Chain A
Amino acid sequence: MNKSSKKKMLLGVATVSAVVGLSFLVSGCAKSKTPTASSSAKVPAGTLTISGSTMLYPLNSVWAVKYHKLHPNVTVSVAGTGSGFGISNAADGNITIGASDAYLTKAFKKRYPNLINVPVALDDAQVIYNIPGIPNNVNLKMTPKLVAEIYMGKIKNWDNPAFKKLNPQYKFPNLHIFVVHRADASGTTFDFTSLLTDTSKAWAKKVGRSLSPDWPTGSGYLGSDAVVAAVKSTAGGIGYVGLGWVLEYHLASAAMLNKAGNYVVGSVKTIAAAANSALKQGGFPADFDKSIVWNVYAKNAYPDSNFEFWMIRKKQPNPSTTKSIKDLINWALGPGQAAKYTVKTGFAPLPKSVLPNVKKLLAQVK
């Protein structure tokens, strides 16, 4: 074959790939590889794809690397594409596992009846602020109702007596409250608005819980880093971020009133206490379709945390995929909960009390 005909072949290949690319565009979504059975290994060889929540992405990534080390015949490919993508594509079978910050609400369940959500870690939403005259390391006391009123634009100034009443030892300035929220769809927002929905009737009626609600006031920023920056750079700012950011930036967040009447600061310990208490006190849905907000009775429970989820299709294409998925989940919920994976990436480990219910859920995956 001479040089120029090689070139032609290359051009031909380019054309073919362009055409393939086009059909790809039309069909809209990538098809994922499904694992193929291997003869000898304990875990069937293949590729599992996890895609969805960008917040959960760092944890999924460290898990994927470690799991591949333990099982070299299994590759876990991870992508951060947003929770919405994770849920809808897991339901359509385009990916093996959809990562999501939010559980399947009634509306989602109706649309995607073929999914289960397995909790894989704990996260929370904490209120941060920047008030001149109040030291940076102070955990101000706040109540969910008060926060709801701030975020509805009803309380507009830091000299409102409500702040002074909760924190009599500090002097609050006459300063406009600069309300900061997320601009992009976010699991932290879902958790945050869940607390406000469960504690303020006005909020429940006007806004409700959502990853991307119709905000009554304030201004929005892209990502939690931008929320931290906006609050920290503007006197009078208030915002909310998850545990990971509070740990990373050493932020002082509000001590939030819980159901038992205590003011609790969000931490690995208080979040785990909330989850444990929610599961043990009964009434928590066996399929985990709830945020762990407000109605948690433990004294040291932080009142605004939630599970991070993996969305999994009940009906898998073949038994070996089912086996691989279950093995990965069992590993992630067992050794994978170690602080070097979870706390390091900004999450709290799950309490052991979730395991019986997870087992029941996984029995539905076939």
Chain B
Amino acid sequence: MFNLKYKDDFFKFILSVFVLAVVVIFLIAVIVILYYSYPSISRYGISFLWKKEWNPPAEIFGALTFLAGTFFVTFLALIFAIPLSLGTGIFLQEYCPFFLRGIFTIIIEMLAGIPSVVFGVWGVLTVVPWIRESVEPFFSRHFSGVPFLKVEENIGYGILAASIIVAFMILPIIASITKDSLSSVPKLAKDGALAMGATKLDVIKDVSMPYALNGIYGGIILGFGRAIGETIATVLLIGNQAIVPKSLFSVGYTISSMLANTFTFAVISPIYASAEVELALILLLISLMVNIVGRNILNRVIGGRFSRSQFGGG
């Protein structure tokens, strides 16, 4: 029917249709989100961002509590994850015996592939009781006067539980990017420093880390992008209460968990749905920006690998 040349062209054509479909789906998603959030944007304006009350029956919508919860969880998760993952990355690249490096790397990358609901379930079964029975009683005995560490309800659920689990979820991203960044440090530079009498620690501190730092920043930003969109683990752990958290042990609410909990009901009322879609838009914009910035840094530092990275956002 066709000669080989045409076959090849036809196949190419089909493939480009598929690629086009992916691009179109992305654009449709963005357009739909913009379209449906427009009524809310035009009605509530910029004050949507700092109003606290979220009252669907009264059609009063303000995103502050959800924004606050989202940023609390994201930043705490980063604070927990960064030292752990930097340590892991440095160990794997610089200290790990060669025969173990492969196994450890695989295990850490497998951690990235665990479905987030599994992390959430594990959190409910272990982290929540641990916080309830050990951490909160300890803090309420010794730190009861400290503002950000006050235990109001000894229930285990809340910002802390969610942040710990999200930290585990972003750990593999930051750890493996740290390792890759360190592996891209020129051997000559390290050897030079060693020849001048530097210890291994000196080399890591003064040669490798400064060189790899931009890459590590990129990894942290990608971790941020993953953390901010995390949904089901936070639904299970955060306590889902629309308040601005006053303490590490407060309950709270994130944008993503709020959408997961209520969006199927919100479709009942156009303005209610629109306000929730506006929350989705905010999340979309933040994670898009974060991903673009993170990937740009990584591309400059390590090369093309992370433009097609296996780590998505959210």
Which A residues are closer than 8 A to B by beta carbons?
Answer: 2, 4-5, 8, 11-12, 15, 18-19, 22, 25-26, 81-85, 87-88, 107-108, 111, 176, 178, 183-185, 208-215, 217-222, 226, 230, 233-234
Contact = CB atoms under 8 A, between A and B. Distances in A.
A212 B56 contact: yes
A16 B121 CA distance: 40
A107 B56 CA distance: 12
Given A8-B10, A183-B235, A22 B25 contact: yes
A26 B32 CA distance: 8
A87 B268 contact: yes
Interface stretch (B181-189, B215-223, B237-245): B237-245
B308 to A, nearest CB: 22
Given A230-B155, A234-B132, 11 more contacts: A15-B18, A22-B28, A82-B265, A83-B265, A84-B264, A85-B267, A183-B261, A185-B262, A214-B55, A219-B251, A221-B240
Contacts of A176: 153-154
Q: Which 6 A-B pairs have the closest CB atoms?
A: A185-B265, A220-B240, A82-B264, A219-B239, A183-B240, A84-B268
A183 to B, nearest CB: 4
Contacts of A108: 268
B16 to A, nearest CB: 11
A83 B155 CA distance: 30
B266 interface: yes
B272 to A, nearest CB: 9
B1 A208 contact: no
Contacts of B14: 11-12, 15
A88 B269 CA distance: 8
Interface in B289-312: none
A85 B262 CA distance: 11
A234 B129 CA distance: 9
Contact of B240 (A5, A84, A178, A219): A219
Contacts of B72: none
A22 B32 CA distance: 12
28 contacts: A2-B1, A18-B17, A22-B28, A26-B28, A26-B32, A82-B267, A83-B265, A84-B264, A84-B265, A84-B267, A85-B265, A87-B268, A183-B235, A183-B240, A183-B261, A184-B262, A210-B56, A211-B265, A214-B53, A214-B55, A218-B251, A219-B157, A219-B158, A219-B240, A219-B241, A222-B260, A234-B132, A234-B156
B21 interface: yes
Interface residues of B, number: 43
Contacts of A217: 241
B236 interface: yes
B242 A212 contact: no
Nearest to B264: A82
Nearest to B154: A176
A189 to B, nearest CB: 10
A83 B7 CA distance: 51
A230 B264 contact: no
A25 B7 contact: no
Nearest to A26: B28
B28 A88 contact: no
Given A22-B28, A84-B266, A84-B268, A214 B132 contact: no
A25 B251 contact: no
A108 B7 CA distance: 57
Given A84-B264, A84-B267, A222 B235 contact: yes
Nearest to B54: A214
Interface string B2-39: 00000100100010011001001100100010000000
Interface string B73-95: 00000000000000000000000
Given A22-B24, A208-B57, A222 B240 contact: yes
Contacts of B241: 215, 217-220
Given A18-B21, A84-B264, A212-B262, A219 B155 contact: yes
B18 to A, nearest CB: 7
